[in-house]
Amino acid sequence: MKILSFIIQKEFKQIFRNKGMLPIIFIMPLIQLIILSNAATFDIKNIKFSYIDNDHTSYSRNLISKFDASKYFHVITDFPNENAANSAMLNGDIDVVLEIPQHFERDLTKDKYTNLSVTINAIDGAAAGVESVYINQIIQSYNKQIKVKLMQSNDTQITPLNITTIPSFWYNKTLNYKTFMVPGILVLLVTMITLFLSGMNIVREKEIGTLEQINVTPIKKSQFIIGKLFPFWVIGLGLLSIGLIIAKVLFNVPIIGNLGLMYLYTSIYILVILGIGLFISNFTDTQQQAMFISWFFMVIFILMSGLFTPIESMPKWAQIITEFNPIKYFVQVMRMVMLKGSGIIDILPQLLKTILYALIMNGLAVWSYKKTN
């Protein structure tokens, strides 16, 4: 036990003696959390909007004012014809063109029906889909306004049948995208720091020659590995704690579930990442090699974790691969516990898979570590 305690103290001293490493471990992840949480959003604003008004009536001007008042659209200009609008879209000056036909007001008041032409720059398909939803919402709102106006102008006692949908948004009542993203970004930062530090730690011992000296001592393999990884396990939990404080204070992300359950799962998850990092370090000779391989797996894990893209939208083969992605389970658990208040029974499938993952990866890491080189 004394030997293990000595190794742990040695690792903590090495970490805190390295003045250049401390900001990387503690300051940079928090800055990344703040920046990424504010920058990562699927809300599309300042859409460059233009129009072709072939009617020039109060009805058409009223419709255009609806877009001008929206926080999502920025009305650039109007165009005299379709060719001018198409040329501007080709140059990237505008994103959306709304064409109002001739006799727009007359058709609405007499025939109660008309068509609008909308052209959207769909190079970014996801953005175009969101823009289409925004446009439809404004037109539907305008449509309701016209219906009320026409009813008031006609002497009729007929009351139209009106069905109103009242939505109820669970777990994110304000539809704040930060509430969805912050738990996932926190997972990302905890994973990055623990993976990179553990991946480069033993390799650094190889580079400076101290690993050979340790190998000839009577220190057991298990003592050495636990002593090397324990400080990073503590650092990972510390980063989670600071991140949760920032999430609550700065972004007002609700933490409905049990914090003890969150720390229980995180403590096991970090063991998975430390095992992966140690496994990588056993097969690399330089810190650059360890960093490159860690980044390789990190990018795949992030993109296939459900953090940015729903797993259900991925191809079938990709969904199968995500079953072996530890970040996927951590993202799910963080969102379930923080936003839904899920209990241990709810996260039991993720917990059991993570425990199995931790046993396998640390077993492989210990097995692949050669004490005598």
Q: What CATH number is given to the structural domain containing 73? A: 3.40.1710.10
Assigned domain for 92 exists? yes
What is the domain extent for residue 111? 47-153
Assigned domain for 70 exists? yes
Question: From CA 372, how far away is CA 192, in angstroms rounded?
Answer: 30
> Is residue 25 domain-shared with residue 103, that is, in the same domain?
no
> Is residue 131 domain-shared with residue 238, that is, in the same domain?
no
Assigned domain for 159 exists? no
What are 156-188's pLDDT values in tens digits? 544 444 434 455 666 777 667 778 888 888 998
Assigned domain for 167 exists? no
| CA 32 and chain centroid, separation | 13
What φ, ψ does residue 328 adopt, rounded to 5°? -55, -45
> Is residue 187 domain-shared with residue 233, that is, in the same domain?
yes
Query: In sequence order, what DSSP letters do the residues of 50-86 get, joined into one string?
Result: EEEESS-SHHHHHHHHHHHH-SSEEEEEE-SSHHHHH
What are 239-297's pLDDT values in tens digits? 999 999 988 888 888 889 899 999 999 999 999 999 999 898 888 888 888 888 988 98
What are 58-104's pLDDT values in tens digits? 888 998 999 999 888 999 889 989 899 888 888 888 889 999 888 88
> Is residue 139 domain-shared with residue 23, that is, in the same domain?
no
Assigned domain for 210 exists? yes
What are 10-59's pLDDT values in tens digits? 777 777 776 766 777 777 777 878 887 777 666 678 889 999 999 899 88
> Is residue 130 domain-shared with residue 268, that is, in the same domain?
no
Are the beta carbons of 326 and 269 closer than 8 angstroms?
yes
Number of domains comprising the chain: 2
Q: Can you give the pTM of this predicted structure?
A: 0.74
Q: Is residue 279 classed exposed, middle or buried when 0-12, 13-18 and 19+ CB atoms within 10 A define those classes?
A: buried
> Is residue 274 domain-shared with residue 337, that is, in the same domain?
yes
CB contact set of 191 (below 8 Å; sequence gap of 6+): 273, 298, 301, 327, 330
Give the three-class secondary structure for 185: helix
